[in-house]
Amino acid sequence: MGRKPCCAKDQGLNRGAWSAKEDNILMNFVKVHGEGKWRDLPQRAGLKRCGKSCRLRWLNYLRPDIRRGNISLEEEELIIRLHKLLGNRWSLIAGRLPGRTDNEIKNYWNTKLRKKVQGHDHDIYDSSKQQDGTELKDNKGSTTPVSDIRGTGQPETQSVIRPKAMR
């Protein structure tokens, strides 16, 4: 026994692209009544959409605090480091980038960054290289990992961010 569907498939709901009129209705409704109760929102607002569609439209496109496009170089580097640490946990990565959505980060990774990291540019992000691409050397001429920059002889341990218990 599960939850009943939020909308019947045969109700004549709009599917596909949202119109500007629908966007305005949704934005005005959320401004007046606030976020939440997404299952009831379409009927109360007069939209012929599913509640899930309204929620995703608001969260990924219409929220006023969302920053879209123009991902900076610093954000790219942070995405790459967090992806190396967390894997494909896009919501956790997006949580560290204010104003960015998990969907946008995932799409940016799959279209641009994955190719950059896997391709010929991957040595830029190597931990034994400085930002200008030159390797770090100690006074004896051997390379030193960035994590041992203090000269303690032991690599510094990195704290791993784990959102839940892992086996």
DSSP designation for 116 = H
Quick: pLDDT tens for 47-82: 999 999 999 999 888 998 888 888 899 999 999 999
Distance in angstroms (rounded) separating the CA atoms of residues 51 and 56: 9
DSSP designation for 158 = P
| Mean pLDDT to the nearest integer, 122-136 | 48
What is the structure's pLDDT at 152?
53
| Mean pLDDT to the nearest integer, 88-97 | 92
Distance in angstroms (rounded) separating the CA atoms of residues 40 and 147: 52
CB atoms within 10 A of CB 26: 23
* Superfamily (CATH H level) for 73-125: Homeodomain-like (1.10.10.60)
State the virtual CA torsion across 70, 75, 76, 77 in degrees, nearest 10.
160
CB-CB contact of 57 with 91 (8 Å): no
Distance in angstroms (rounded) separating the CA atoms of residues 153 and 167: 31
Distance in angstroms (rounded) separating the CA atoms of residues 23 and 133: 46
Structural domain boundaries in the chain: 20-62, 73-125
Q: Please determine, for residue 46, whether its predicted confidence score (pLDDT) is greater than 50.
A: yes
Mean pLDDT (the chain) is 78
Query: Of residues 158 and 106, which shows the higher confidence score?
Result: 106
Quick: pLDDT tens for 146-160: 444 445 555 555 555
| Mean pLDDT to the nearest integer, 133-152 | 47
